[in-house]
Amino acid sequence: MGNSKGVMFRGILLIGIWFAALFGATTWLDLSATPRDLIVELRSSATKGAPVPATPAVGMNQRRYGPGDEFQDCPDCPEMVVIPAGSFRMGDLTGEGDEDEKPVHVVRVGYSFAIGKYEVTYGEYSAFVNSTGHSDGSGCRVWANDKGEEDNSKNWRDPGFIQSDGDPVVCVNWNDATAYAQWLSHKTGRLYRLLSESEWEYVARAGSQTKYGFGNGDTFLCRYGNLADKSSKYKWRNNNCDDGYARHPAPVGSFTANQFGVHDMHGNLWEWVADCWHASYSGAPSNGSTWKYRRNCSKRVLRGGSWISGPGDLRSANRDLAIAGKRSDIAGFRIARMLSQ
């Protein structure tokens, strides 16, 4: 009986993905939804005036991917890595965190999913803006003078330092990141979205229960990410190493990947995730889904630390928040793609 239910769900899911691609559905599905709820949600999103694709969505036949597999749905799509289902303890496991990292709780991610191997790049984001005409926004908080200041002349095209197509895009807010994921879903016929906060920590930990995904030592941070190192002027800098990028983000893939094959989960850029900000984990989901049920969701969660962060901000359990509409040259994002549940 269990096997027949699994086959039935996969069939419904494939129909749902086809339905979403055909009608341009762009709202995100709760990962904890039942098959019946999934179809209702897809049907609802398809009737909200979303544009019908001018050409059929690419590749309607779902290829089955296994843990560790890498793929790319189109030439200017992000490279993805498949993450296995599993369970982990989320929160301050080492006693070095703040109250917002408590209580520690077990999360079961009972489905495989794909995550961006790298943070979304300048080149990938350019393809989105060129295709949609998405607004550059009005200003960005920049750290050019070693302190964050709003500069109305700066945006993702010119954040104050030179960027190539292989650099992570900066000066993008939560709304920009969500719009990018919706465009990518419409372009490919696949369900792309931001990660939930628990998915993000699950990937960052990559099976570990230590301070960082690779262990507890600050000395090794420069092998795995870009942070305020000993060459920087920040008082919170890491004096144990030099990562080679003191004044700006590093090109994606410059540092060693974690055990899941994902790069830059520690440092380089703070990464927007889907969740609304909550000041603790009391009442948090335990199934990997996005924690979004809140009257005021103007503040969203950021994870991972950045190129100006000290070691404490790069801990796997560390959390931060920002207003969803604010942009900064220390914040970017990566995406997830639904595979199965």
In the block, tokens 């895009």 appear at 169
Q: What is the mean pLDDT of the chain?
A: 85
Q: Are residues 223 and 184 in the same domain?
A: yes
Token pair belonging to 210: 């230590």
Neighbours of 276 (CB within 10 A): 19
206 touches 213 (CB < 8 A): yes
Tens digits of residue pLDDT in 314-323: 999 999 999 9
Domain that holds residue 13: 1-62
Tens digits of residue pLDDT in 96-145: 999 999 999 999 999 999 999 999 999 999 999 999 999 999 899 998 66
What pLDDT is recorded for position 57? 40
Q: Are residues 169 and 313 in the same domain?
A: yes
Whole-Å CA distances, 53 to 47, 175, 191, 233: 14, 22, 15, 50
Most distant CA pair in the chain, distance = 63
Domain boundary among 44, 62, 80: 62
Q: Are residues 53 and 122 in the same domain?
A: no
Q: Are residues 107 and 3 in the same domain?
A: no
Per-residue pLDDT for 325 more than 90?
A: yes
Q: Cα separation of 84 and 93, whole Å?
A: 22
What pLDDT is recorded for position 145? 67
Q: Are residues 216 and 118 in the same domain?
A: yes
Tens digits of residue pLDDT in 19-36: 444 333 333 344 333 333
Tens digits of residue pLDDT in 254-295: 999 999 999 999 999 999 999 999 999 999 999 999 998 767
Give, as one character, the DSSP assignment of residue 42.
Answer: H
- Total structural domains within the chain: 2
In the block, tokens 């410059």 appear at 254
Q: How confident is the model at residue 62 (pLDDT cuts 50, 70, 90)?
A: low
Per-residue pLDDT for 76 more than 60?
A: yes
Dihedral, CA of residue 334, residue 335, residue 339 and residue 341, to nearest 10? 90
